[in-house]
Every structure is written in C-alpha cells, then in structure tokens.
Amino acid sequence: MADKTEISPPMWNSKTFSWGFVVKLILMAIVNALGVYICFFAFVKESWWIFGFMLVVLLLLDYVYFTNKHTLPMKYILPGVIFLLIFQIFVILYTLGVAFTNYGTGHNLTKDQAVSQILSSRESKVEDSKGYPLTAIQQGDQYGFAVIEGDTVKAGLGAAHNDAGNPINVDAAVISEAPEEVPLAVVEGAEFSGKKITSVPGYEIVPTQFLVKHQQFFAKLRVPVSDDPTAGSIRTTDMMNGFEYKSTFSYDGTNLVDTKNNVTYTDNGKGSFADETGHAIEPGWQVFIGFENFTKAFTDPTYSGPFLRVLLWNIAFALLSVISTFLLGLFLAAVFNEERVKGRKIYRTLLLLPYAFPAFLSALIWSGLLNTDFGFINNVLLGGAEVPWLTDDWLAKLSVLGVNLWLGFPYMFLICTGALQALPADIKEAAKVDGASPLRTWFSVTGPLILVSTAPVLIASFSFNFNNFTLIYMLTEGGPRFTDVSAPVGATDILISMVYQISGISGQGARDFGLGSALSILIFIIVAVVSALGFRQTRKLEEMI
C-alpha cells in the first residue's frame, strides 16, 4: 500500500485572502509611519513627554489591532480615547498650566534665551572694527550675510529686531518668534572677485533691487560670529561693508551688567531682570506666578471693571438667546403641527433655511444689512434713517440678540417639532376626557413633557451661546468699544471674545496668554456650574411629572 503524503494548504488562496486585512494593514502602516515621524521629531527637539506618549500610543494601537484576543471592544474605544486625550484633556491641562504663568509678549522665552537676546539686542559697533566686504544672502525665507575674510568667504544667517526688541520679517512686520540664527562659518567653494562675492554654495545672493527695497530690514539684521552670544555679530549700514558689533551688556551667570552705564540688573523673581529702582528690561522669561492672573481679572482696574460688565452681559445674552429662540421655535412648531394648516411641509422647509446657511456667513450679511450708512435696513426699509444699530451700546446688544434669534430659532423649531410628534396621542385624549381645556392641556400636560425632553438641549444651547464667539466677532467684533477703560473690550463682547482681545491673538496690543488662559478657566467653571444646576433641575422636573 502506497504511503499517503499529507499536502498542506497553500499559504494564500482566494478563500483565505481578506481585503479587510489588507486595508487594515495599509491604514496601520500609515498610522505607524506618522507616529514614528512624530517620535523622531520629538526626540530631536528633546520633547521627551511627547516622545514617550507617542511611543506608548503606537505600541498600544499595534497590539490592539493585530491581536484578536480580548481586544475587540478596545478596537472601537481606543481611537476615541486617544483623540479625547489629545484634543480635550491635553488642551485643558495645557491651558491650566499656562494660566499660572506670565506667558505672553516679553515673557515667551526661557531664561537662557532671554539672556542671549538681551546681549545680542544691545550691541554697539566696535571702534577699531575693520570693514569686511559684505553680500546679503538668503536660504529659503531667512536672510543673512556673507563676508570676505582674507582668502575665505564666511556665511551665516541671522535675525532682525525692531527698536522695541520684537523680531521682524523682511517687510518689517513683527513676527511671533525670531528665526534660528546660524553663526558665520567658512563656506567651501564660495567664489569672489575683488570685493564682490559671486557665489555661495547653499545660499542665494539677494538681488540689489530687493536689497534696496528692504534696506530697513537689512540694516537691523545681525549675524552672530559664533555660538557665544558675547562674541558679537556682523552688521551693516551701507549694504556693502560688514562691521563687528559687540554687546554692551555682560552676564556672569547671575546678574546682567550694563557696562556702558554701569548698571546691574538682577533677577526680580517675576521672569525679568530689573535694576535697583525696579525698572525691568525686556525680554523676560516664562515663570510660575501662582493665582496672579486669576486675581488680576477682579483686582486690576484695567480688567476688573470691564470683566464684571462683560460677565453680566454674557449671562444675559446666553439666557435671552435660549429663551427667545426656544419660545419662537416652540410656537412655530405648535402652529405647524396642526393638521389643519395647509402647506405645512413647505412652511417647515422655509423656516429651516436660516439654519442651512453657515452662521459666520449669515452674521457677516447681517452686519452689512445693519450698517448705519449703507445698510439695507436703514436705506430701504426705514427710508434713509441713520439708526446706529451696531455703534450704539444698547442697539448693538439688541441687534446681536435679534440676529441670534434669526440664526437659532430653526434649530429649536426642529427639536420642538420632533418632541411634539413624539408625544403619545392618548395623553391629550385623556386630558380631554378629564375636562381640561386646550389651553389647560398645553400648560399642564404638553408643555411640561416637551420641557423635560428638550431640557438637555436647552442646557447645551446655553453653553453654546455663552461661548458664541462667531456671532459676536462677525457681527460687531465686540464693539462699540468702552471709552472709560484701556482694555480693548466693548459693549457686546462676551467672555470668550474678551479673552480673544486681551490675549492679543486679535493682533491688538500685547499678548498675554497667561491672563487669557486664566479667563478661559473661569469660563469653563461658570459653564460647568450652570450646566450642573440645569441638569439637577431637569431631574427634579422629571420626578414631578
């Protein structure tokens, strides 16, 4: 009897092949590639907590999605948890951390960076400095100088600062962060003829026409001669010759000394160097300041007055917005829920149109319609009247509430229509049998039942309107501005738009991210407390019914 040889099935065939596995493999390859890139970038920047977090996430994702054992629920839960940690928990913790610091304009560096910038920004020309033939160069969007020293060409990239010490770009506009400087170094293969440099490998020579057009920027540009900030830099005044500049300040590791004026600056414990009179020099550095930002909102006259006014208006705006949109939406829902109304579908469709348009676009359109001089409402509907809808304090508030009513009632109409149609018909019949009038039935049965089902929506609507930045910014930009305070705050500003203005993100005034973060935390607490109280009352209402 011949031996029977057992033939094993092939490693791959059409029956065992799974397109789902291939898709999963491709997606996980993309995720891993992105994760490895983030890990590498974090490693280079020495951001060890980002490196560790990303490494743990990658290992956990690979384990969950390539292991079938006891991990099926995690395949659905894990992505949501990761996004929750990144976009919610991290943002909250980061904002909370910034709220206890002086982070902002003049205090956005480390102490070492601040010392380096102070030394480099307070330089003067060395008296016996000889002129070096100089050519302006660029690498990407960063600029620098190339100089001829003996038989070699040295090149480097630098940064420019205005008289206030803020970094500027080639158009002399203030930028958030100065580019990283590259000290002068010998460039192999560079070519020059006489005093003119013709080629610098790795760099482009700036055209003369461009140099003349932006000479203000190049006159403030400095290129360090080495990594030591006390070694000085090369600067130019005529765009043809470079001269040595050295700092008039010295740093001994503890104090800064102005050698020119013989003044000593010490660490004042608030993220700045200050002299004996308390005068601080910029830039400073980021330090922990405790609850100072929180108390500033209530004790500093610059912010305490407008803060309380904005807070009261913010609460009133949120409450009135919810009440007005809900009542109008409920009224229209009740009207068009009656079967006797003809063309209900058409009317319902038309009522939902404001909800179909983007809110920011509708707010911009209304801003034009309410314009005092050229608006459609004044020129056409009111026959050329000059009603200051957006420039008078109370009219501006009324306009904001009116526009928000236009934007918000369709949503409430939709919700209330669904709530009405979900009510059992026998409830109304039972009330009718008991002798209740239609009005009594509405206030004692239908209304409370609708209120119970829509209460969570009303709480969510309050939270949304409490932070309705889009409407305020697009319609009035927070104006009209308060004339009795120095803070950039107006009559229609709510807390979130006040944070936008005070933090400096809007481009008006100095940036104070610490104060902005503290106010954001206060907004979070207010909304959380109101929401908790609202849900508590909702449960009581359910128990009563």
CA–CA distance, 239 with 245 (Å, rounded to integer): 15
In a domain, 4, yes or no: no
**Domain match, 214 and 354 both:** no
**Domain match, 304 and 426 both:** yes
The runs of H, that is alpha helices, within 385-512 are: 393-422, 425-433, 438-441, 447-466, 469-475, 495-502
Q: How far is CA 273 from CA 116, 128, 277, 281, 283, in A?
A: 13, 31, 11, 6, 9
Query: What is the bridge-based pairing of β-strands 196-199 and 263-267?
Result: unpaired
Host H or E run for residue 33: helix 19-44
**Domain match, 276 and 366 both:** no
310 φ, ψ (degrees, to nearest 5): -65, -40
Residue with tokens 């414990």: 269
Residue-range definition of the domain harbouring residue 404: 298-544
In a domain, 421, yes or no: yes
What is the value of pTM for the model shown? Answer: 0.78
**Domain match, 268 and 160 both:** no
**Domain match, 110 and 44 both:** no
Q: How far is CA 122 from CA 10, 145, 183, 215, 292, in A?
A: 76, 20, 18, 20, 31
**Domain match, 118 and 128 both:** no
In a domain, 14, yes or no: no
**Domain match, 50 and 151 both:** no
CATH at residue 442 = 1.10.3720.10
**Domain match, 334 and 441 both:** yes
Question: Which token pair is 179?
Answer: 């580019």
pLDDT at 282: 85
**Domain match, 75 and 149 both:** no
Residue with tokens 């980021």: 286
In a domain, 293, yes or no: no
Q: CA-CA-CA-CA torsion for 230, 231, 236, 240, nearest 10 degrees? A: -170
Are 224 and 120 a contacting pair, CB within 8 Å?
yes
In a domain, 525, yes or no: yes
In a domain, 185, yes or no: yes
In a domain, 292, yes or no: no
In a domain, 530, yes or no: yes
pLDDT in tens, the chain (545 residues): 445 454 445 544 555 557 778 888 899 999 999 999 999 989 988 888 999 999 999 999 988 888 876 667 888 888 899 999 988 899 999 999 999 999 988 888 889 888 988 888 888 888 888 889 999 999 999 999 999 998 999 999 999 988 767 789 998 888 877 888 999 999 999 999 888 999 999 999 999 999 989 999 999 999 999 988 788 899 998 889 999 999 999 898 899 999 888 999 999 999 999 999 989 998 899 999 999 999 988 888 888 889 999 999 999 999 999 999 999 999 999 999 888 888 888 988 888 888 888 899 999 999 999 999 999 999 999 988 999 999 999 999 999 999 999 999 999 999 999 998 888 878 777 877 777 787 888 888 888 888 888 988 999 999 999 999 999 999 999 989 998 888 889 999 999 999 998 887 766 667 889 999 999 999 999 888 988 888 787 776 666 55
Domain boundary among 247, 273, 307: 247
> In total, how many domains does the chain have?
4
**Domain match, 473 and 333 both:** yes
**Domain match, 389 and 502 both:** yes
**Domain match, 405 and 519 both:** yes
